[in-house]
Structure 1
Amino acid sequence: MTENRIIYRWKYSRFRMIFSGLLITVCGLSFGQSTSKQITAKLITDNIVLDGLMDETIWQTAEVAGNFQQFFPSDQVEAQYTTEVRVLYSETHLYVGIYAEKAPGDYVVSTLKRDFGALTNDNISLLFDTFSDGTTAYFFGVTPYGVLREGLVSEGGAAFNNTWDIKWQAEASRYDDHFVIEVAIPFTSLKFPEGTSTWRFRPCRWNNQSNQQDSWVKVPQQQLLSSLADMGELIFEKPLGESRMPIALIPYINILADKNYGLDESDTQFKTGGDAKISIGNGMNLDLTLNPDFSNVEVDDIFTNLTRFEVRLPEKRQFFIDNSDLFENFGNTFNEAKPFFSRRIGLARNAEGNLIQNDIIGGVRLSGKLNKDWRLGVLNIQTAKDEANEIASNNNMMLALQRKVGARSNIGVFWVNRQVMGDEGYITPEDNFNRVIGADYNLASEDNNWNGKFYLHKSFQPGDNTGNFSSQATVTYNPRKWRITEDLVYIDQDFTADLGFVPRTDVLKWGNGIQHIFYPENGIINTHAPRLLTIVYWRPSLDYKKTDHRYTGSWEFAFRDQATAEFSFTNNYIFLTAPFDPSRTSGAIPLPGDQGYTFNQASIEYTSNNTSVFTYGANATIGQFFNGNITALGAQFGFRVQPKAQFSLRLDYNGIRLPDPYADANIFFATFRSDITFSKSLFWNTLVQYSNRQENLGINSRLQWRFAPLSDLFLVYNDNYFTETFAPRFRSINLKLTYWLNI
C-alpha cells in the first residue's frame, strides 16, 4: 500500500467522521421561530390618495412600528433618527405609510431609475415573509424621491434578486429634516396562503446621509441586514382571502440590424414573441415563453481569468429569474459543482468546438409554494436545431421539490435532464443525453448562527452509470465575534452536468476558515477581523496526490464612514498535470506539466465610502506566480450628479513575468459606465469596455423609455472595434417594444 493511499484512508475516515458528526449535530439546530415585535394592519374602506403626504385621517388611527434599532455602525443602540411605519389594508391593496426624520442637508441619491442600489441611495425597504417560513420573502424599497425597487429574497436572506418585477406604486415628499412615503401594493402582486392573518415583516432603513442603517427588529451586525431570521409580525384584523394574481401577457416586437465587418456580412431581422404569467393557486406561478429575445439584457463585464478553470457569470435574463433559487441553489456552496446553471441554455458548441448562441424556441416554468412547507419547480426549455453548425435541438428540463424542515432549514431533491431531440447524423451516441439527480439538505438555524449544506448528486450518461458522484458537507458557525467554516467536497472524475457549472472534477477538497471579529468602541474603525483560510485539493485518480493548496492570512477593516480595506498574504501550491500557459499568449511555450509550483502573493484592497458624491477604490497584488512573478493593479473611480447621473471608470492591469523561454504578458482592460436618468421613466445607460487581450473595444448603449407600468421601449446600440487598426468589427442596433398587459 502506497504512502498516499494510507494518507488518503486516514483523510477519508476523518471525512466520514466529520460529515456524520456535523450532520447529526446540525439536524437539531432548527427550532420554532420567535418574533420580538408586532404591528396590526387596520382594515379600511376609505380611499387612500397616493401623494406622499399621508394626510388622510385614517393614517392617524393606524398602529405605529417605531423604536428602530441601529444595525450600522452599532447594533447595540437605538436609531439616531426616528422612523415610523404604519400599515393599512383594503380588500385589494396593502398600504404602508412611512415618516422618517433625517439630518438637515442633501439626500444621498444616485439615480431615478427603478431597482436602485441600497448603498448609494437613502431608502426605506420592506420585507414581507408572506408564508412565514424564514427562507423566502418579497422586498420593496422606496427612496425619498419616490424611486422604486422590488425583488425576491431567498436562502434565508443570503440571496437578494432585484430583477423580479411586479406592479405597485409609491409616492414621496421631501423636506429638509424629514421625508414621507406612501406605498400601495396590490394583493394581486403577492403570493400568500388563503385565510392567513399573519405575515413575518420587517422594515429597514438605509440612512446613507448619516452613514447609518436601521431596522425595526434588531439584527446582529455579523448577519446580513436582509436576514430573515430576525423579523417582526404583521397581523391583519381580518384574515386575507385567496391570492389572485391576474394573467399577464407580455408580447414584444424587435427589429434588429447588424453587420459583421470581419466576414463582410449584414443581416436584418424582425422578431416577435412574448411571455405569459399565470397564477396557479395561492402560491404557484406558471410562466410561458415563446421565441424569447434577450437583446435588451446588459452585456457581461469583461474580466481577467488567470486560473485554469471557468468562471461563473450571473444570470440576467428575466425569464429565468423568478424563483431562480429553487433551481440554481442545488449543489456546491462555493460554486464548484452546480447541477443546474440556467446560462447553459441558449448556448451550444459548433462543429469546431466554439461556443455560440443557440436559439430558444420556447419554454415553460411552474414554480412556487404548494403550501407553507413545500415548494415545487418545473422548468422545460426547447432549443432550436442549427444544421449549419451541427447543433441538434435539445430539450432541457429540471424538476425540483423542496420541503421545509424545522424553523428555517429545508431538504430538496431534483432531476436535471438534457435530451437530444431527433436523430441527427452528427450527434454521437454519448451525446444523446445527460441526467443528474440528487438531494440537498440546507441548514439555517433559528438565529442564523449556524448555516450549512449537505448534498449527494449523481450523473448519468449513455453507457456511463457507475460512480459519477458529487458531494459536499459544509457548516459555518457565525456568532457575534466568530465565523468558523468547515468544508468537505468530493467530485468524481466522471461526474458530468451538461446544464450545470462544474469547473473541475476528480477532486477531494478540505477547506477550513476561522475569523475573529473585533468591535472597537471608539475611533474610525467600526470592525476589524483577522482570518485564516486553508484549502487543499487532492486528485483521487492520481492516488490522491495533492494538486492544489491555498493558505491565506488576511485582515479586514470596516470603517464607520462605510469604507472598507483588506490586507492578505497567500501561499499557493499548484501541481500541473498537463502543460499550461498562465500568460495565455498565442504560440507561447507552456509551463511543463507533471510538476508542482509553490508561490507567495501579498494583496491590499481599499474602497471608499460609496455614499459620497466622489468615490474611489484601489487594489494591488504583488509576488510570485508559478515560476515567475506577477504585479496586478486596479483602480476605480465614481462620480454622481445627484439625482440624475452617475459615472464610473475601472482600470485593471496584470503584468506577468516568467523566465525564458516562457512568455510574459501585459493584460489591461478598462470599463467606463454612465447611467443617466432623465426622469423616472426615461433612462440612458452606456457601457464601454476595452481589452488588449481580446483586442477589442466594445460599446453597449441602451435608451429605455418606460411608457407604462412594466412596459418598455428599448433602443440598443452595440459597436465593437479591432483595437490594433481601430477598424469596426461588429455593429448592431435594435428597437424593441414590450408591453405588460393584465387580463
Structure 2
Amino acid sequence: MFENIKKTTRLKIGLKPVFNLSLLLGLLVFSSSKTLYAQKRITVNYVVSDAFKIDGVLDEVMWQKAVPTSGFTEYFPTDSKQAEYQTEIMMLYNKGFLYIGVKGYAPGKDYRTPSYERDFSISGADIVNLMFDTYSDRANAFLFGINPFGVEREGVVYGGGVTGDLDLNWNTKWVGESQMYDGYFISELKIPMSAFKFKEGITSWKFSAMRSDTQSNTKSSWTRVPQNQNQLNLGYFGDLIFEKPLVKTRNPISVIPFVTPSYTNEHYKGEKSFNFKAGFDAKIPVKSSLMLDLTVLPDFSSDDVVSGQNNVTQFEIKQDETRLFFIDNGDLFNGFGESNALAFYSRRVGIGKDSLGEDKIVPITVGAKFTGKINNNLRIGVLDVQTEGDDEYSIAANNNLVVAAEQRVFKKSNIGAFFINRQATNYDESLTGTSYNRVIGSDFNFFSKDNSVDGKLFFHKSFTPDISSNAISAGNELNVEKRAYSLGLTTQYVDAGFQSDLGFTKRKDILRVNPSGAYNMYPKSEKINTIIVDASYNAYWRASGDMPLSEKYTALGAEINFTSGASIGLQGTNAYEYLYSSFDPLGDKGSGDPIPVGGYHMNYLDLDYNTDRRKAFWLEGTTRYGAFYTGNKFTTDVTLQYRYQPFFYVALQLQYDDIRLPEPYSSGQIWYLGPTINVTFSKTLFFNTDVQYSSQSNYFLLVSRLQWRYAPLSDIFLTYTDTDTTAPFELFERGIYLKITYWLDIKRKNKKK
C-alpha cells in the first residue's frame, strides 16, 4: 500500500480602548477576505475487525482497505516545495478505535531520539505528529506523536496553535510501535475513540500532520504552512472524512488511586517521621464532550522538579502547571488576561502565604472539576478545590472556586467570562490574608481564519474587604504575523488595588504600552535560513497620582537562523527604571546599602545563541553585559546537553550574575547550577537525578527518582530528596518516598436506543 510513493515580535501599543476595538474590528473585516491554501483531505474507511497487531509491520489484510495520503510540503528550511523525503499516512476506524499507519522515507537509517521516555522533547529528534481538531472549530486539537523508535507522546494544542501552545501533561491510553529500515520507517498506532471528544453523528474532523527528519535536516507538513506561522497552527488543517457517521460509545470511568509511604528527616526541626498517604483521582465522562474530574487528598511527590534560576529582579517568576487534576481543559481557566496579568493561575491552588509573605505548600483535601462543550460553540468549566489551613504559619483553610465559560463568535473567535472566589472557611484576625477575594471579568479573543491576525481585549475587577475601588485589570493585545513581517501592540492597565489571590499579577499600579515589530528576510543561501531584524518599545507608567514614567525599554536587534538549526542573535537596549523602594539585587547576600529610590538610565547588550540540536552535544544560552542601576552587570545563562541515544543524556544549566556597584552598595556574584542526569533503560524503566544549587537562596537540592511504568499510565516511583542550606552548609531535610499509582478504566455498557 506504500509502494506508489516515491521520494520526491509580535507587536504589542496601548491607545484608548475605543481605538483598539476599532483596530480589531477593522482587522476582522480584513481577515475575512484572507484566502487559505487549498484544503486537503484524507478518507478514513470503516472496518469491522479488531484483529490488528500493533507491531509497525502493517501486514493485516484490513490495511488494504485504507486510502493513503501523502504530498507533504516542506516547512524548513524552505516552505515552497514538496518534501524530498515524503511521508504517507493512512487510517481505518471502527466503533472502538482509530488505526493509523505511517511510512516515512529518509536518506538512510541514522534516526535520532533523545531517550525512550514518553512525551520526549522533539528538538533534534525524528518525529511524526498527528493532530485532530474533532470539533472543526480550529481552537484546540489532540496531538499524538511517534518516532522511528516507537516512543510515544501525546498532548493538547490550544489557543489555535498560534504560538505553538502545546500541553504534553495531558495523558490518555493508546498504543504505538515502529520498525526502522534503511531508507524508511513504519509506525502503527491504535487510539481508542474514547480518547477523543466529539459530537455523535458527525462525519468529519479537521486534521494535519507534521514531521521532523533529522537526516535530511527538514521539517514538513501534510498541509502547507508558511514558515512565519507555527506548524501547530490550526488555521492550516485539512479535512479528515469518515466513511460512516461516528457513533459515540460510553467512555470508561477512569479511577487513579495512589498510595505513598514515606520517611522524612527534618533536621531543622529535629524530627523524624514515617508517613502514609492515600488518595485518588477520577475522570467520569458525563456526556461525549463533558468530563467530571475528582481529586481526593492528591499527592504531588512524583511531579517533575521545577527548574530554578537566579532572580535579580523585583518581580515573581511564573512556572508551568504539571499536576494531573488541573491539566484537562486547563486553558479554559488559565487563559483569562495576559501572561503578566492572569486572573487565574492554577499553581496558586495549594499555596498559602505566611505572615512574611513567603509561599508555603498547603495540602489539598478534595477537588472537583466539571468541564467540556455544551455544543459546538459553548465551552464551560467549574473548578472547586478545598485546601487545608496551617496553624504554624497562620494560613487559613480556603475554598477555591472558579466558574468559566467560553462562547465562540464569528468563525474562530470567542468571548469568555469568569468568576473566581477564594473564601476562607476558618478565618479570624490572627490569620494572614483576608477572609475572601473575588474576581470577575470577561475576555474577547480574536483569530483570523489562518491565525495570521489575532488579538485580545480583557476587563477584570477584584473584590476584597476594605477595597471597593481602584481594583481593575484591563488590557489588549493585537498581533499580525505575515511572511515578511510581524507587527503587534499590547496595552495593559492594572490598578494598585487589584488583587487576585488565585492569579498571577507581575506588576500593579501600572499603565503599559508595548509596540514591537520585526522584518523577516529569506536569503538564497545554503547555510542561512532567515535573518530577522526586530524593534520594540516597552514603557510603564504608574497608574496612580500624576502617572509618572516608571520604566522604559527601547530595543533593536537582529537574529540569524541557520539551516543547521543553529541561531545567533544580538540586541541592544536603552532602559530607564525608577525604583519606588530601595532594592538589593543580591537579596540576603548583600552586605552593602540597598540601591536607593530614584530613576536610573541603563544601556546593555544581549547575545543569544544555540547550536544544532541534532548533534550529540549542543548548547543554548544568553549573555548580557551593560549598565545595572548605579554600576554594571554581567549575566550568562547557558544550558549544555550531551546525548547518548537512546539510553542516556546529561544536561547542565548554569546561570551566573556578576554585579558590580560602587560603594556603599552591594557587589558580588550569584550562581545557579542545575545538572540533570536522565537514564532510560527501556520504554518502561527510567531514572533521573536533578541537582539545584543557588548561592542567592543558599540552598542545595538533590532529587533522584526511579520510575517503572508497569502498566499503561500506571507507575511506581521511588524518590529520594535532600535539601541543604549552604551558608553555612547544613542538612535541612531528607526524605524517601514510594508512590504507587494505577490507572483503572471501568468500562460501561452502551445505552440501548
Whether the aligned pair in 1 keeps the contact of 2:95 and 2:248 (CA below 8 Å) is no
* Corresponding residue for residue 582 of structure 2: 579
Whether the aligned pair in 2 keeps the contact of 1:26 and 1:443 (CA below 8 Å) is no
| Match among 569, 572, 590 for residue 569 of structure 1 | 572
Q: Secondary structure of 2:22's match?
A: helix
- 1:290 paired to 2:291: no
Q: Secondary structure of 1:304's match?
A: coil
Q: Matches of residues 599-610 of structure 1 in structure 2 within 5 Å?
A: 599-610=602-613
Q: Which moved more, 1:133-142 or 1:53-62?
A: 53-62
| Match among 265, 277, 283 for residue 259 of structure 1 | 265
Structure 2: segments with no counterpart, 5+ residues? 1-12, 747-753
* Corresponding residue for residue 10 of structure 2: none
1:489-522 Cα shifts (integer Å, max 9, x gaps): 1111111101000121111111110100001111
Alpha-carbon spacing, 1:165–1:121, altered in 2? closer, same or farther (3 Å): same
What residue identity is the alignment partner of 2:169? T
What residue identity is the alignment partner of 1:375? R
Q: Secondary structure of 1:302's match?
A: coil
Identical residues among aligned pairs (%):
37
| Match among 497, 503, 507 for residue 506 of structure 2 | 503
Whether the aligned pair in 2 keeps the contact of 1:365 and 1:378 (CA below 8 Å) is yes
Question: Following the alignment from structure 2 to structure 1, what is the Cα–Cα distance between the partners of residues 391 and 723?
Answer: 28
Give RMSD over aligned pairs. Answer: 1.7
Question: Following the alignment from structure 1 to structure 2, what is the Cα–Cα distance between the partners of residues 398 and 497?
Answer: 12
1:601-630 Cα shifts (integer Å, max 9, x gaps): 011121001111111234321111011001
- Shift of residue 319 of structure 1? 1.1
1:40-95 Cα shifts (integer Å, max 9, x gaps): 10101232221110112332331111010001111111111021000100121100
* Corresponding residue for residue 695 of structure 1: 698
What residue identity is the alignment partner of 1:273? G
Whether the aligned pair in 1 keeps the contact of 2:688 and 2:705 (CA below 8 Å) is yes
What residue identity is the alignment partner of 1:297? D
What residue identity is the alignment partner of 1:20? L
- Shift of residue 461 of structure 1? 1.0
Question: Following the alignment from structure 1 to structure 2, what is the Cα–Cα distance between the partners of residues 138 and 404?
Answer: 19
- Shift of residue 449 of structure 1? 1.1
Whether the aligned pair in 2 keeps the contact of 1:30 and 1:408 (CA below 8 Å) is no
Question: Following the alignment from structure 1 to structure 2, what is the Cα–Cα distance between the partners of residues 122 and 604?
Answer: 29
- Shift of residue 267 of structure 1? 2.0
Question: Following the alignment from structure 1 to structure 2, what is the Cα–Cα distance between the partners of residues 682 and 349?
Answer: 38
| Match among 110, 117, 142 for residue 106 of structure 1 | 110
Structure 1: segments with no counterpart, 5+ residues? 1-10
TM-score, normalised to structure 1, is 0.96
What residue identity is the alignment partner of 2:513? W
* Corresponding residue for residue 18 of structure 1: 19
Q: Matches of residues 493-572 of structure 1 in structure 2 within 5 Å?
A: 493-572=496-575
Question: Following the alignment from structure 1 to structure 2, what is the Cα–Cα distance between the partners of residues 588 and 711?
Answer: 53
Alpha-carbon spacing, 1:725–1:626, altered in 2? closer, same or farther (3 Å): closer
1:448-504 Cα shifts (integer Å, max 9, x gaps): 110111111111112322241111121011111111011111111111101000121
Question: Following the alignment from structure 1 to structure 2, what is the Cα–Cα distance between the partners of residues 402 and 115?
Answer: 29
Whether the aligned pair in 2 keeps the contact of 1:190 and 1:243 (CA below 8 Å) is no
Q: Which moved more, 1:270-279 or 1:719-728?
A: 719-728
1:160-181 Cα shifts (integer Å, max 9, x gaps): 0011110101111111111001
Whether the aligned pair in 2 keeps the contact of 1:119 and 1:208 (CA below 8 Å) is no
Q: Which moved more, 1:369-378 or 1:385-394?
A: 385-394
- 1:372 paired to 2:358: no
Aligned pair count reads: 728
Q: Matches of residues 318-717 of structure 1 in structure 2 within 5 Å?
A: 318-332=324-338, 335-427=339-431, 431-584=434-587, 585-586=589-590, 588-593=592-597, 595-717=598-720
TM-score, normalised to structure 2, is 0.94
What residue identity is the alignment partner of 1:19? N
- 1:149 paired to 2:153: yes
What residue identity is the alignment partner of 1:421? T
- Shift of residue 21 of structure 1? 2.2
- Shift of residue 27 of structure 1? 4.2
Alpha-carbon spacing, 1:96–1:423, altered in 2? closer, same or farther (3 Å): same
Whether the aligned pair in 2 keeps the contact of 1:368 and 1:375 (CA below 8 Å) is yes
Question: Following the alignment from structure 2 to structure 1, what is the Cα–Cα distance between the partners of residues 241 and 480?
Answer: 33
- 1:96 paired to 2:97: no
| Match among 252, 255, 267 for residue 249 of structure 1 | 255
| Match among 733, 738, 747 for residue 735 of structure 1 | 738
Alpha-carbon spacing, 1:510–1:67, altered in 2? closer, same or farther (3 Å): same
Question: Following the alignment from structure 2 to structure 1, what is the Cα–Cα distance between the partners of residues 29 and 311?
Answer: 41
Question: Following the alignment from structure 2 to structure 1, what is the Cα–Cα distance between the partners of residues 636 and 265?
Answer: 36
Whether the aligned pair in 1 keeps the contact of 2:217 and 2:564 (CA below 8 Å) is yes
Question: Following the alignment from structure 1 to structure 2, what is the Cα–Cα distance between the partners of residues 77 and 225?
Answer: 16
Question: Following the alignment from structure 1 to structure 2, what is the Cα–Cα distance between the partners of residues 576 and 328?
Answer: 31
Question: Following the alignment from structure 1 to structure 2, what is the Cα–Cα distance between the partners of residues 144 and 105?
Answer: 10
Question: Following the alignment from structure 1 to structure 2, what is the Cα–Cα distance between the partners of residues 458 and 27?
Answer: 27
* Corresponding residue for residue 6 of structure 2: none
Question: Following the alignment from structure 1 to structure 2, what is the Cα–Cα distance between the partners of residues 182 and 443?
Answer: 38
1:200-255 Cα shifts (integer Å, max 9, x gaps): 00111111232111111001111111110100111000000125321001000001
Whether the aligned pair in 2 keeps the contact of 1:259 and 1:730 (CA below 8 Å) is yes
* Corresponding residue for residue 236 of structure 2: 230
